[in-house]
């Protein structure tokens, strides 16, 4: 018997290059696998809802002062949730998958505007940060007073209770949310599904270096991710500067989208010689093939997709010994307290001892073989989605 197609509406706040990093990259890969499995996936990002945002912003603007420094982000997230509701009421998907918990509030607001209280379909929410959404945005550079932080956190908790299922990318992320919401244990509707990994094709290191114009005598140190405060790049830049002053021929490469002129000035990159290579890369396979050491300085990773991609490429890697990095990196990465002295020493050893790099190369590859493929991850979602659809209809 032919199974009916499951129609799913996936909603994010990603736009432009965001789809190539972290959340956007992982959700994109899951959607590809779900489509292959026969799902009909409608992907709704900010790129598809700009007109809706312009119309809705003037209606909700007077209420946003309530959230202090987070008002811009809250307004955008609420509006994207409302856009999702409008699409859902017309398209009537089987499932609605929101990538931010506060989208639920916008969704509910739009329902009320249409004279409805119940969602047309079950709602699943993914929490992509290390804990609550409120804590995650405060770590990403948004300043909140204690009052506004508490207000936003309480409101977030109310939205989560309205969703059918909450998904976290790691046990560390789920446990942090449990603490953020003052719970003794995760609710039954909270589940963990890790991101997957693609084992990359082996590339020629010398060819990759020539294409990047990196000298064969240089030690290439790579970091990947948005040029955002939460990524903690300062400690890496300072460590590289120290080692360059000691005479090590290090080439720092940071592959990530962001305000490069501001980042250059903020990090005082003029002190580095050779100068770092910065900017977005749509494909990082050549970077991973060319580099000698990969570093993730972020102490607040909820998963770290770039980290697992580095391990899958066999790159000797240094991770912060906090957040989900311990869970994801396991014994495949060198886990250290992310402080200047610790990172400088670890980098000094890896950059000057090829045999130790070989040791971590082997451990990285072993770790990657133990991780789930994107296909396996999509099967977990398939099981979850079908389980939700088979439950009694108790959606608010």
Dihedral sign from CA coordinates of 17, 20, 22, 27? positive
Instruction: Determine the average pLDDT of the residues in 378-390.
Output: 94
Same domain, 212 and 359: yes
Is residue 264 a part of any domain in this protein? yes
What pLDDT, on the 0 to 100 scale, is given for residue 18? Answer: 55
Residues 54 and 113 in one domain: yes
Residues in the chain: 396
Confidence band of 396 (pLDDT split at 50, 70, 90): low
Q: Is residue 396 part of a domain?
A: no
- 8 A C-beta contact, residue 42 and residue 93: yes
CATH code of the domain containing 382: 3.40.50.2000
Answer yes or no: do 365 and 381 share one domain.
no
The DSSP letter of residue 115 is T
Whether residue 1 is contained in a domain is answered as no
Spatial strand order in the sheet of 123-126: 40-44, 7-11, 95-98, 123-126, 165-168, 190-192
Do 63 and 185 fall within a single domain?
Answer: yes
Taking the C-alpha atoms of residue 364 and residue 387, their distance in angstroms, rounded to an integer, is 35
**Co-location of 158 and 212 in the same domain:** no
Q: Which of 279, 305, 281 is nearest to 374 (CA)?
A: 305
2 is a domain residue: no
Q: How large is the average pLDDT for residues 59-67?
A: 76
Same-domain pairing of 41 and 190 = yes
Are residues 126 and 225 located together in one domain of the fold?
no
| Per-residue model confidence as pLDDT tens digits over 245-280 | 999 999 999 998 888 999 999 999 999 999 999 988
Which residue's entry shows tokens 């939460």? Answer: 230
The predicted model scores a pTM of: 0.89
pLDDT surpassing 60 at residue 318: yes
Q: Are residues 164 and 295 in the same domain?
A: no
Q: How far is the CA of 275 from the CAs of 78, 220, 240, 367, in angstroms?
A: 41, 12, 11, 33
User: pLDDT confidence of 24, banded at 50, 70, 90?
Assistant: low
**pLDDT value at 1 more than 60:** no
Rounded-to-integer distance, Cα 139 and Cα 136, Å? 5
Asked if 83 and 68 count as a contact pair (C-beta separation under 8 A), the reply is no
Task: Give the pLDDT of residue 73.
Answer: 84
Q: Is residue 395 part of a domain?
A: no
Is residue 360 domain-shared with residue 379, that is, in the same domain?
Answer: no
Domain span including residue 348: 205-369
Residues 66 and 119 in one domain: yes
Greater confidence (25 vs 2) lies with 25
Structure tokens at 351: 């950059």
**How many domains, in total, are found in the chain?**
2
Rg (CA), the chain: 22
136 shares its domain with 91: yes
97 contacts 72 by C-beta, under 8 angstroms: no
Q: Are residues 298 and 256 in the same domain?
A: yes
Beta strands in 189-298, from DSSP E residues, in sequence order = 190-192, 219-224, 250-255, 277-279, 293-296
């Amino acid at each position: 018997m032919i199974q009916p197609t499951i129609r799913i509406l996936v909603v994010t706040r990603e736009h432009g290059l965001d789809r190539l990093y972290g959340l956007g990259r992982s959700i994109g890969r899951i959607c590809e696998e779900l489509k292959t499995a026969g799902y009909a996936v409608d992907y709704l990002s900010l790129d598809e809802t700009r007109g809706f945002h312009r119309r809705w912003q003037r209606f909700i603007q007077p209420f946003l002062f309530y959230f202090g420094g987070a008002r811009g982000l809250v307004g955008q997230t609420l509006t994207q949730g409302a856009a999702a509701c409008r699409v859902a009421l017309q398209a009537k998907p089987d499932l609605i998958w929101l990538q931010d918990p506060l989208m639920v509030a916008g969704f509910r607001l739009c329902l009320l505007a249409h004279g409805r209280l119940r969602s047309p379909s079950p709602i699943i929410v993914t929490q992509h940060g290390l804990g609550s959404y409120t804590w995650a945005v405060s770590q990403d550079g948004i300043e909140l007073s204690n009052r506004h932080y508490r207000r936003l956190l309480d409101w977030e908790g109310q939205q989560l209770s309205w969703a059918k299922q909450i998904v976290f990318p790691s046990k560390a992320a789920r446990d942090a949310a449990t603490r953020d919401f003052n719970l003794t244990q995760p609710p039954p509707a909270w589940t963990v599904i890790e991101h997957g990994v693609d084992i990359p094709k082996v590339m020629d290191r010398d060819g990759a270096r020539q294409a990047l114009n990196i000298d064969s005598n240089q030690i290439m140190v790579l970091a990947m991710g948005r040029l955002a405060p939460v990524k903690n790049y300062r400690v890496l830049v300072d460590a590289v500067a120290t080692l360059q002053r000691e005479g090590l021929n290090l080439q720092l490469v940071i592959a990530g989208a962001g305000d490069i002129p501001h980042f250059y000035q903020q990090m005082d990159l003029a002190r580095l010689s050779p100068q770092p290579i910065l900017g977005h890369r749509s494909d990082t396979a050549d970077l991973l093939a060319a580099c000698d050491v990969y570093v993730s300085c972020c102490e607040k990773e909820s998963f770290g997709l770039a980290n697992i991609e580095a391990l899958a490429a066999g790159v000797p890697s240094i991770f912060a010994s906090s957040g989900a990095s311990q869970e994801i990196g396991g014994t495949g990465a060198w886990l250290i307290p992310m402080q200047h002295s610790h990172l400088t020493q670890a980098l000094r050893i890896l950059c000057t001892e090829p045999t130790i790099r070989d040791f971590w190369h082997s451990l990285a590859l072993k770790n990657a073989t133990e991780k789930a493929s994107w296909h396996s991850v999509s099967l977990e979602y398939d099981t979850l989605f079908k389980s939700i659809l088979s439950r009694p209809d108790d959606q608010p």
